Structure 1
Amino acid sequence: MKSIIISYRQEYSFRERALLWLLDNVVSVHARVYTRRPVWGLLREDMLQYPTGTLGHELGLFLTRESLQPVDRIERHDAFHILLDFSTSLEDEAAMQFFLVANGKISPFTLATAAFTMLVMPDKWGLFIQAFRRGRKALSIANWNFLHLLDEPFADVKAVIFHQPVRNERLLRKIPQYAKTASAVECLS
């Protein structure tokens, strides 16, 4: 498993450094717990080979900007960042967990992270509530296979999540909520 690299800059507060340390330790445990989850086997350089404008290419750009490589079995976490408009700041990482909980991604790690950050970041509760409300309104992405969406237009994938009209039947057939619909395009028109 590739390890996550977290930089502990001096300007971080004690709280931020403690959260980064916890994140660093939880990521490897998370990957070991989800051993059945398939590894994408892609580096950011591989993702940049997808056509411009696709989810895969946008993910490659994000990873390049952040100087990151995908972490095995946790690759979709990076897709959450770009599709849901959350940066990699600690506040946004925490807020994203609230979005995901409200959106139906109920896992021990998501729940624990949300609960822990709620306790140690009471000054960010407004941000967390806002993210929770956004997650509730969005189409549930908890069971999506993002690996199969890498070749789809980024804007269309994001539009589906936020209930915007999409006329991409190939994409909609890959989305669990629309896959069984006889004419998926009609569902969002």
Structure 2
Amino acid sequence: MNKLQTLARKIIKSTFHLSVCAIEKFHDIDVYDQKCRKLEELPEGTLGKDVAKCLKKNNLRLVPHYESHDLKHVLLDYKMTPVDEIRLQAFMIGNRNYTIPSFAIFIFGAFLLPDLWATFYTDFKNGRKAKPIKNWTIEEFASCPTSTLRQIVFNYSTKQKTEINMKSLIKFGAYTAIILGAFGMMFCLPFLFSSNLTDLVGAGFAFIGGAIIASSGLLTLSNITSIRKQVRTSIV
């Protein structure tokens, strides 16, 4: 490793430490220390227990709003080092975690570490193939076995991906139905107060049709939400 590469890693490490110190200064850390102690009480092999052990090993503590971030470090087996932090962000962007912090951290790290671009690209591809986990929280999965969760994430089948794509398509159709139905109802509403019988009848049927279309969209969204809850429950 040359001097420039060493300097780049030191800059990243110092930046992260400065960010953590700033966050800790404006939050009640005692609450998160207590939360970490509860994680330590979980059985061996659970994700929560492994997160607590990892933090202790690296002389770190839970930081406000970063609990789920620590979860991903342990779940995906990325070390808590400057380089692995950038690798984690590459994975998460590939995993469709399109957030400003993820892009900012990744771009910052990739700019300073051009020697690892091939590694970052591999992490990105791994994230693209894995099960989406951007919404996973430590509250939901702390008691689950880490090994089982890793299998779920990394053995994500093509069938599951197709189901997710179909859900997205159905969801888009549901929103479209709601918008079109509501627009049709609003367009017909003035004609319902017309003294002309033809306008009244025509608008009435169109208004009912719009209501049916909008209602079908709402029912579809409700069903998608119900299915999502059932899937999450089966994982836990």
Q: Give the TM-score of the pair, scaled to structure 1.
A: 0.72
Q: Quickly say closer, same or farther: Cα 1:68–1:127, change in 2 above 3 A.
A: same
**Partner residue of 1:4?**
none
**2:40 and 2:49 in contact (8 A); partners too:** yes
Q: CA deviation at 1:49?
A: 0.2
Do structure 1's residue 179 and structure 2's residue 229 form an aligned pair?
A: yes
Aligned partner (choices 7, 10, 13) of residue 20 of structure 1 = 13
**2:90 alignment partner AA:** F
**Partner residue of 1:106?**
98
Q: CA deviation at 1:44?
A: 3.4
Which is worse superposed, 130-139 or 83-92? 83-92
Q: CA deviation at 1:13?
A: 2.9
**2:32 and 2:63 in contact (8 A); partners too:** no
Do structure 1's residue 144 and structure 2's residue 144 form an aligned pair?
A: no
SS of 1:13's partner is helix
In structure 2, how many angstroms separate the alpha carbons of the residues matched to 1:53 and 1:135?
A: 23
Identical-pair percentage: 24
Select the structure that is richer in helix. 2
Structure 1 unaligned residues grouped into runs of 5+: 1-11, 166-175
**1:94 and 1:114 in contact (8 A); partners too:** yes
5 Å-filtered alignment, 1:2-151, equals 13-27=6-20, 42-151=34-143
SS of 1:86's partner is coil
**1:24 alignment partner AA:** H
Q: CA deviation at 1:136?
A: 0.3
In structure 1, how many angstroms separate the alpha carbons of the residues matched to 2:121 and 2:232?
A: 37
Deviations 1:106-133 (A, max 9, x none): 1111101111111111000111011101
Number of aligned positions between the proteins: 159
In structure 2, how many angstroms separate the alpha carbons of the residues matched to 1:123 and 1:183?
A: 42
In structure 2, how many angstroms separate the alpha carbons of the residues matched to 1:158 and 1:49?
A: 21
**2:48 and 2:138 in contact (8 A); partners too:** no
Q: Quickly say closer, same or farther: Cα 1:45–1:184, change in 2 above 3 A.
A: closer
**Partner residue of 2:167?**
none
Q: Quickly say closer, same or farther: Cα 1:114–1:31, change in 2 above 3 A.
A: farther
Runs of 4+ in 1 over 2 A off after TM superposition: 24-32, 39-46, 176-185
RMSD: 3.0
- Which structure is higher in RCO with an 8 Å CA cutoff and minimum separation 6? 1
Q: Give the TM-score of the pair, scaled to structure 2.
A: 0.59
